[in-house]
Amino acid sequence: MAGKKDRGEPKKLTVTEIVRTIASGDGEHGPWEIKEIKALNAAGAPINETLKTFADVTPLLGKLEEFYVERQDHEKYGTSFLVSPKTSGLQLKVQVLEGRVDALEQRVAQLGQPGNPATPVPQSTPAAAAASSSPATSDDDIPF
């Protein structure tokens, strides 16, 4: 693709920790933040280099994923490695949403379990009995 930098073959890494996040003001493409991260290589050994990323890698924590790795040498800050997930930003957002949906589904399933204090206990009240025995016959009976 013209204009794109050749990033080489992606490497398999497991991001284990976001050490810190550094935010900046407006850059050429708007505001940005960079994160220093810790990771394991494909064999599970810790990577003892300075790793950083602009991507939100939160949904990738603890997962073996493919990343493009670019060495960066800076006279003031030394050598570090910029890692970029092979997965696009949109795919990462979808993964975040999938995780949230899974968590909500688990929570809803727990709510339906007997003995869960948050599970409502059905109770028969005179109003509920009257409502179930005489259905509304017109829109005038609906209070909203």
Question: Over the chain, what is the mean pLDDT?
Answer: 79
Quick: pLDDT tens for 66-95: 999 999 999 998 999 999 998 776 777 787
Give me the residue spans of the domains in the chain: 11-91
pLDDT at 137: 53
Domain 11-91 is of which CATH architecture? Beta Barrel (2.40)
H, E, C per residue of the chain: CCCCCCCCCCEEEEEEEEEEEEEEEEECCEEEEEEEEEEEECCCCECCCCEEECCCCHHHCCCEEEEEEEEEEECCCEEEEEEEECCCHHHHHHHHHHHHHHHHHHHHHHHCCCCCCCCCCCCCCHHHHHHHHCCCCCHHHCCC
